[in-house]
Structure formats: structure tokens, C-alpha cells
Chains A and B, each alone.
Chain A
Amino acid sequence: MVIGVADMKVSSEPEEVLVTYALGSCLGITLHDPGKCIGGLLHLMLPDSKSHGRSSPRPAMFLDTGLPLLLETMLDAGADRHALRCKVFGGAQLLSADNFFRIGAQNIDACYKVTAALGLRVQVWEVSGRVNRTIRLFNRTGEVHVRVPARPEFVR
């Protein structure tokens, strides 16, 4: 199951693998209920929908609207809120610029706040740095396989 940019999907099929490509400064957030093998993946681009004036037709584009939607969809699919495991990936950053291109850092900062506000305990922060990450969530195990250019794949 492929999740595009500014998109979100949830699956309750135990053998499903949810994948999203090339996160860059975007965040890929996974939620997983290990007991029921229900998993969800959100590929968001920007932290705050309110800074973009109009209400977005794509709530998954923003952290503040996308993560609550992912959580709600997981619960609708039957996931146990207290069993959920949350992992966060991406947020890569360009070389230091004082006034431009800080989306990665802004996404990470906002993610600390939004996950706390939603009561989600984040198990894995595989964020920042200067690498482009592709992630795969395996619903059977909850493992997330991370691939970056020219490096061996690893599991978080």
C-alpha cells in the first residue's frame, strides 16, 4: 500500500506493508497496534495548516490536521488507543540557513508538541540529518524498514 505526499492510509490487514517514498524534510509518522496488527502511515509536509490561510482540502498535508486524522482513522479501524506505538521519520534539513528552508526543523519541533497534545508516546525519532528516507511499515510486526540513498537498509 503506497502513501503519497500529503496523504494518509490505515490498514487492518496483518500482511499489509505500508510504504512512503522520499520523505526529505517532510515527516512520515507511523501508528501501530501490535495486538490487532492495525497500522497507519501519514506523509505530511508542513507543520501548521492555519498559516496557509484557507482550510486545506488535504488535511494530511499538515501535521496539525493530519495526525489527529490518522489517530481518528486508526481508532475507527478498531485500534486500541492505549496500545498504539508511534514512530516519526524524516525532517531532513538543508545546511544551516538563518531565514530560509527550515521546514524539517519546524516539522520536528511541532511534532513534539502535537504528539504530546494527543497523548501519543513516540517510541522512535528517526529524524533530522541530511538524508532522504523511504520507510516501510510491516503490519505483522510493527517494524519500520528505513532506506536512504547508497546505505544499507535498517530497521526501527
Chain B
Amino acid sequence: MSKHARLDAVVELTTSIPCAPLILPKLQRSLLGSYVTTQELQSIIELDPGLATSVLRMANSAYFARDQKCESIANAILRLGTAALSRLTVTSQAGNWLNQPVKGYGWEHGDLCRHSLCVAVTAEVLSMSGGVVDPGVAYTAGLIHDVGKLALAYANSEGLDEVSKLVPAPYPTWEDAEKAVLGYCSADVSGKLLQRWGLPPALVEVATYYLHPSCASAENLALVTTVHAAKSIATELGYGVGMDGFYFEVDEDALTKLDFTEEKLQACVPAIVERMDDVVSPDGVIKALS
């Protein structure tokens, strides 16, 4: 029996994902202003994995949900309206997760946010050139794909310290070591969290299978594979990559089936960096939040 928190317990502990402290005053100023466009709200919310998750979660809750699940931030904002978004930001502010340092993955302040932003931007750029996946959904999926790591780092950082000592030997991947120590991995936590919060199946599948896109359903295979490719490129580019970052296996079969090649992926790198320059300054500060 593992001495560490069980998967259900980690999910249970996670009542909300906090958003970056700096984002809230800016968002609330926008919401209180005389006129704010959906695009302006979207540009703020899309910078933060925690807030993006909360917005999607509320838009897909029983109170707001309609027949159609909400897969993009733009649709979620339209569905919620500014009054509900205001309440949401106050609730997020009450979250206590970031009152203590986040340990376990060797992150410095803001690393998960920078990395998630780069995966989001990369997924969007790849989907724009591929034409198979909706770019807005790809961005959203990239932004929230790793929320389980935040939950795990909060609930079980001692377990992650133990995991870090087992990579690369005897376990070649961080996922293998997490499963050996904890009995589950961060992707399991991400998937369970998003499922519990009522997010669309496509986003749940991305969170659960982005390390192994071949395991995704046929319906969501292209989206999950796109995020897998984006994750790999974002890791190579280094934005916010922690000690676990490089220790995962590339699913070459899935990439090949979606007609990705190394040349095609590398050709997207300049566009990705130009987009990242718009949101992250050279010293790592997320521009729109400063």
C-alpha cells in the first residue's frame, strides 16, 4: 500500500485551480469597466491555465450547460457573461493553493504558466497549418493539459521528491516513476479533474492521453496528437520546463498518422517564437499580466 495520497484523494482535495495572482486585478478592472469586449476578456483568461480551467468548468456546469459542451474560452465567455465571470474571479482569488510554494517538479515561479502558454500557442499554430483541428480548441487544450501536475504538486510534493530520485534510473520516464511511487501519474489526475468538473470529453482525453495519443479515441485522435506534438516542441523550446520535462516518450506512430514530419514541425518554430514574444518577455515575465 502506497504511503502517498491516493488518486481519488488528490482529486478530492482539488476544489479549484488557482489562477496567477497578477491576473486577477487586471481581469477585474476589465470586468468593471464601462465596456469590455469578449476578445479583451479572452486575451486575459487565455494566459492562465488555472483561470481558463475555472471558466470552462463553470461554463460546462449544470447551471450553465446546454446541449453542447463548451470547448473553447471564447464560447465559455459568451455563455457565462460578465456577471458570472466577476463572481468567478472573486472565487479564484479566495483559492489558497498558491499561498505556499509549489514543489515537486523543480518549478520556479510562473513556470507551469509559461510552459502551458507555449503548449497552447504551439498547438494553435500547428492546427492552423494542419486544418484538421479547431485552433481555438487546440489552444484551450494546450493551456489546461497539465492541471493535474498543479494538483499533484500541491497535494503530494513529498511523493514527487521520491519520484525525482528514480528518473532516469531505474525508470526512464517520469510517468513510469510516478506510477511506481504513487500508483498513478499526473495525466491520470488531470483527466479525473477535468472529468469531475464536467469539461468536454475532448479536453478530458487530451489531459489523460497527451503522453500517449495513440490511446485516444478516433474522434479526438487528431486533437490529442496535436497537443502531444505541441508538448514536445514546447519542451524543446524550454519555456517553463521543470525537472520532469524531458523525460517522456514521443509517440512517433501517432505523429506519422497525422502527417506530421520533423521538417513540418520545425518549420512552425519561428511562428511559435514570434507568438511567444507577444506574451512572454525575455526575462520570463508574462507581459499581459505585468
Q: In the bound complex, how far is the Cα of B114 from the Cα of A42, in angstroms?
A: 21
Q: Which residues of chain B (222-262) have a CB below 8 Å from chain A?
A: 232-233, 235-243, 245-250, 252, 255-256, 260-262
B residues in contact with A46, CB < 8 Å: 266, 269
Which of chain B's residues have a CB closer than 8 A to the CB of A124?
none
Beyond A5-B276, A94-B232, whether A100 also contacts B243 by CB under 8 A is no
B43 at interface (Cβ–Cβ under 8 A)? no
A97 to B232, alpha carbons, bound, how many Å? 11
Tell yes or no: B201 within 8 A of A by CB.
no
Report whether A100 and B260 are in contact in the complex, using a CB–CB cutoff of 8 Å.
Answer: yes
Q: B232 touching A45 by the CB < 8 A rule?
A: no
Kindly list chain A residues whose C-beta atoms are within 8 Å of the C-beta of B238: 21-26, 90, 92, 132
B252 A100 Cβ-Cβ under 8 A: yes
A102 located at the interface, meaning its Cβ lies under 8 Å from any Cβ of chain B in the complex: yes
Known: A22-B239, A22-B284, A104-B236. A150 touches B164 (CB 8 A): yes
* Chain A 40-99 interface residues, beta-carbon cutoff 8 Å to B: 45-46, 51-52, 56, 58, 61, 90, 92-95, 97-99
Q: With A and B bound together, what is the CA distance between A102 and B241 in angstroms?
A: 17
Chain B, residue nearest A103 (CB)? B236
Determine if B106 is an interface residue (Cβ-Cβ < 8 Å): yes
Cα-based distance from A148 to B106 in the complex (angstroms): 9
Tell me if A101 counts as interface (CB < 8 A to partner B): yes
Interface string of A116-156 (1 = CB under 8 A from B): 00000000000000111000000000000000111100000
Closest residue of chain B to A53 (Cβ to Cβ) is B267
- Flag if B233 contacts A5 (CB, 8 Å): no
Is B184 at the interface (CB under 8 A from chain A)? no
Q: List 21 A-B contacts (CB under 8 A).
A: A4-B277, A4-B282, A6-B273, A21-B238, A21-B282, A21-B283, A22-B239, A24-B239, A24-B241, A25-B237, A45-B269, A56-B270, A58-B270, A95-B172, A95-B249, A99-B261, A101-B262, A103-B266, A149-B105, A149-B242, A150-B164
Q: Determine if B168 is an interface residue (Cβ-Cβ < 8 Å).
A: yes
CB pair B252 A132 closer than 8 Å: no
A20 cross-chain contacts in B, Cβ below 8 A: 282
CB distance from A3 to the nearest CB of B (A): 7
> In the assembled complex, how far is the CB of residue B160 from the closest CB belonging to chain A, in whole angstroms?
10
Q: Please name the residue on chain B nearest to A95 by beta carbon.
A: B249
